[in-house]
Structure 1
Amino acid sequence: MPRLPVDDYKVVVRPRVGLSLRAVATPTIFTAVCRGLGLNYQEPLNTDRLRVNPVNDTFTISTPVDTRAQKYVAMMNLQPKDQILEMSAYLPPPDDSARGIIYQTHSGENYKEIMDGVNLFNPTLPIVDAQQLERSPQSS
């Protein structure tokens, strides 16, 4: 199979329960996604790609269009046949990214304050996201 386009948005979708993606044809899944989001099937058919990962029972939709990627991420359920299935969708981090832990942050900072602080000390690194972890009973 050819690789997905590098510059596209990739959205990973995981059925919560009740669907083995091995048992459903890829065009059936793609049609159900388009129908569920109210998209004209012909428009994404020429640019978007759907890949099923049968090992972890997920599928990835690759699209160059930002607005469609946002719609795919917002997808909450899918109706491939006669049943409605709950879904969980997210944008994975880029392939060339790394995860890290930020130490010595103050509790109670909002998202903007955390991002401003991280960007201040890392001006040459593109920071995609930062969030405060929950406090554990041991850290209180």
Structure 2
Amino acid sequence: MYATKSLCHQMKVLTGHGCFGRYLCRVLGREPTTECHHCDVGAEDTAEHTRAECPAWSKERAALSAVVGLDLSLSALIRAMVDSEEKWIAVSSFCNSIMLQKEAAEREREQDPNSLLIRRGRRGRRRRAYLANLPP
């Protein structure tokens, strides 16, 4: 299970489809703004911002840079991952550590009654199928 979750976190960081303000606001419509919740810079929260700029992740970024180098662009990380197992593990650890923290923070915001996070239930065919199988 850990390997699957870790791979999922890698994909989120590499694709930008995860707990990033830009994705949650523009694609899912679950956040009122694209602003990063983890830094005071007011920057747009994207996968690139998280990987290379956000001061909240400087410790994790330093550990990653020590193994793969200073270039943390998407193409450089992918090259590093296929270069060696050591670099693959470093990227995986970086992604896993950050995404676990970002997901925990999102869950806290969801539970906060004063949060501006927009809660949406599941829609569509899967939701209807689930509701149809509930006992009366």
| Higher RCO (CA < 8 A, seq sep 6+) | 1
TM over 0.5: no
Higher helix share: 2
Length-normalised TM-score, structure 1? 0.29
Higher strand share: 1
Larger radius of gyration: 1
